[in-house]
Structure 1
Amino acid sequence: MGTEERNFDREEAWRLLCEYTKNEALRRHALAVEAAMRACATKYGGPEDDPNVWGLVGLLHDLDYEMYPTPDQHPYRGAEILRERGYPEDFIRAILSHASYTGVPRDTQMARALFACDELCGFLVACALVRPSRSFDDMEVSSVKKKLKDKAFARNVSREDIRQGAAELGVDLDEHIGFVIQALRPVQRELGLGAISRGI
């Protein structure tokens, strides 16, 4: 696979993200998708799939969004930046495919997982922020499903993308929501969530 052609360094990827992304909320979204993608690599990937690579796809998928947010720029500019830094094409294609309007097919499990986790991670963080605990610790799938039906809540999150993402991954939506909640619990302090992270 093309991803074997490069040594994937997490510190280097984080520095690259921070170079183009100054907004704390966007950085935290990247961390959330990274955590979900690492978990997905173990569940949906094959024996040759590296959780570190899947995680860095999640970390860098919106690399260009703060500086180049329009559909004619994002994620195309990010793809150019990643090519310049030596990231391989299968890595870049997965990132290009998370925006359906690019027309790049989601033809790998890594690409399908990224699409399935992206909007859902944003929605789950929004759900956690309005909970009394401000955490994932006591979050239930049923409460998330109830929020999904409330069109006024986190209105910028595409419910259709969340449903389509689970379908493309071939997993029940409830199961996928529960799986991603579990994946995000260990990193919630980095996301500004959890009882002891309120002062961060």
Structure 2
Amino acid sequence: MFNREECTEVKERILNEARELFIKNGYKGTSVRDIAKASGTNVAMVNYYFQSKYNLFEIVFEETLDVFTKRIFETISSDLPFLELIESWIHTYYELLFEYPQIATFILNEVSLNPEGLTNRIKKRNPYNAFTKIEERMEEAIQKGIIRETPAADFLLNVLSMCMFPFMFGKMAMTLMEIPQSLYNELISNHEKYVIEFTLNALKPIDYTTTSHNK
């Protein structure tokens, strides 16, 4: 039998290998047998320590979600000028989703299978703080004439949708376009620039003089 120290080492090894495999192959593309082989254990040991593949993935997801929310909130809370802040915010999303691609897939799965559980996970991390920060900065920018009048909730949903969608449906997009992962990653990198430009242009104040002249 393993002593406590050896048990801890085995659990950590299984978790570390599972994390790497989930990042590389996603939840569906990773089996308990794959995790056991990579960690130098066996299926029975993986199930003994973690009960199921789903439980393992939950642990990895919780860790990832902590990193994700922490870095997003740090970006939103920075003292950057507003438009630079938005650009940095979008870049952080892309940077994190490239680093932790499994998070988009897990969110998509949870939306379908366990929406209440996903909601509770997110609520635990108090997303209202981030929303309030964005709302405050937007109101300040509107008052200064830096951006047009824009509902904060709509703006937030637009940014989240544009950033998350390419990662959530990456596999399907690659299949439809018949391109490899490397080429799709390049496409997504370029898409980040488009999302930033599109978002900043959408925030620009309306030039009523130009609009009247065009009429």
Give the TM-score, by structure 2 length. Answer: 0.31
Q: Which has the higher contact order (CA 8 A, sep 6+)?
A: 1
Give the TM-score, by structure 1 length. Answer: 0.33
Higher relative helix content: 2
Structure having the higher Rg: 2
